[in-house]
Chain A
Amino acid sequence: MRNYSAFLKKEVLEYTKTYKLLIMLMVFAVFGITNPLMAKLLPEILRKLMTDGNIMTLPEATAYDAWTQFFKNATQMGLIVMVILFSGVLSSELSKGTLINMLTKGLSRTAVILSKYTCMVLVWTISIALCFALTYGYTVYLFPAGETANLIFSTFCLWLFGVFLLVVLLLSATLTKSNYGCLLITGAAAVVCMLVNIIPAAHRYNPISLATDNLGLISNSIAVSSLYCTILISCLLSLLFVFLSVLIFRKKQL
């Protein structure tokens, strides 16, 4: 336990000193501010671009559009930025050799993996919370009338998918030596999830539904209860993968 808290402190310090925390927070803050703004400005930009010849009626932007932007940006760019930033989670310390000294002095390998995972989840939680808060604040400011259904639940699903993606990243980091290998396996896992999603029967059990069903949830076209199974599966898979990463890292030749 002391191992764990000490290494966690070191991880937090590392993210601050390497500016990874700053970049994560800034990227998500910028997304948070621009989501409602883009929703508001897009119809106006289109109107400016339209010439006399083609007339198209554009609906007024609503709070729903702002949240559409939020879920699009967070599930695409947000997750990509996160995975790229965290891709060196194990490989950077292993290639520099700074971890070896501590491990030979008795730091437990389980503590290393668990504290690294905790720290990644922590950074991801703070970032998504910041993005959500900013989008929420500005959406209320720009579109006071708008009410959006299932907002918190939908964001929770997105957060859970991020947590799942991080554990896949951690597992691939223990399997490979370089951060490119880690990126490759994580990307491959995401692609496999998307391919499996083509089968309609698998949709309910596929973790990626957590990141693709958000828009359906906030427009009320997907029932909340249809995702319970996915949430359970994602939690179980996350636990299993954490367990596997610990096992693999304990056996790994450094």
Chain B
Amino acid sequence: MDLAMLKEYLPFLIPLVIAQLALGITALVHVLRYPHYRFGNKVMWAIIVMLVQFIGPAAYFAFGRGNE
């Protein structure tokens, strides 16, 4: 991808990156602070929420989060 094209799509990329980072970091903080999960362990969830875009944090909050 050349630089001009990247510049053209920057207004799209910035909000998407912000959204992913916001979700990922919220989920990561939650993973580290509450180490009780329905299944899996801390390392697994930390990797999933940071590396799987959008679906990772959503899956963690929907299925992985244990009851405090």
Within 8 A of A (CB), among B21-53: 22-23, 26, 30
Contact B12 A138 (CB under 8 A): yes
Selected interface stretch from A3-11, A25-33, A67-75, A224-232: A25-33
CB distance from A143 to the nearest CB of B (A): 14
Known A-B contacts A19-B26, A30-B54; A84 and B62 likewise in contact (beta carbons under 8 Å): yes
Contact B15 A23 (CB under 8 A): no
Interface centre among A20, A22, A23, A29 (most CB of B within 10 A): A23
A246 to B38 Cα, complex, angstroms: 33
**Neighbouring A residues of B30 by C-beta, 8 Å:** 19
Contact A27 B12 (CB under 8 A): no
**Neighbouring A residues of B54 by C-beta, 8 Å:** 26-27, 30
Known A-B contacts A23-B62, A27-B58; A34 and B16 likewise in contact (beta carbons under 8 Å): yes
> SS class of chain B's interface: helix, strand, loop or mixed?
helix
Closest A residue to B9 by beta carbon equals A37
The answer to the question of A253 belonging to the interface, with a C-beta cut-off of 8 Å to chain B, is no
Interface centre among A18, A20, A26, A141 (most CB of B within 10 A): A26
CB distance from B45 to the nearest CB of A (A): 14
**Neighbouring A residues of B61 by C-beta, 8 Å:** 18-20, 22-23
Closest B residue to A81 by beta carbon equals B58
Contact B12 A22 (CB under 8 A): no
Contact A33 B12 (CB under 8 A): yes
**Neighbouring B residues of A37 by C-beta, 8 Å:** 9, 12
A120 to B34 Cα, complex, angstroms: 27
**Neighbouring B residues of A22 by C-beta, 8 Å:** 23, 26, 61
A131 to B33 Cα, complex, angstroms: 31
**Neighbouring A residues of B11 by C-beta, 8 Å:** 138, 141
The answer, among A20, A27, A30, for a CB contact under 8 Å with B16, is A30
Contact A33 B23 (CB under 8 A): no
The answer to the question of A85 belonging to the interface, with a C-beta cut-off of 8 Å to chain B, is yes
Contact A33 B62 (CB under 8 A): no
Interface residues of B (CB under 8 A from A): 9, 11-12, 15-16, 19, 22-23, 26, 30, 54, 57-58, 61-62, 65, 67
- Chain A to chain B contacts (Cβ below 8 Å), 6 pairs: A20-B61, A22-B23, A22-B26, A27-B58, A29-B15, A30-B54
The 5 A-B residue pairs whose C-beta atoms are closest, nearest first, are: A19-B61, A37-B12, A23-B58, A26-B23, A33-B15
Interface residues of A (CB under 8 A from B): 18-20, 22-23, 26-27, 29-30, 33-34, 37, 81, 84-85, 96, 138, 141
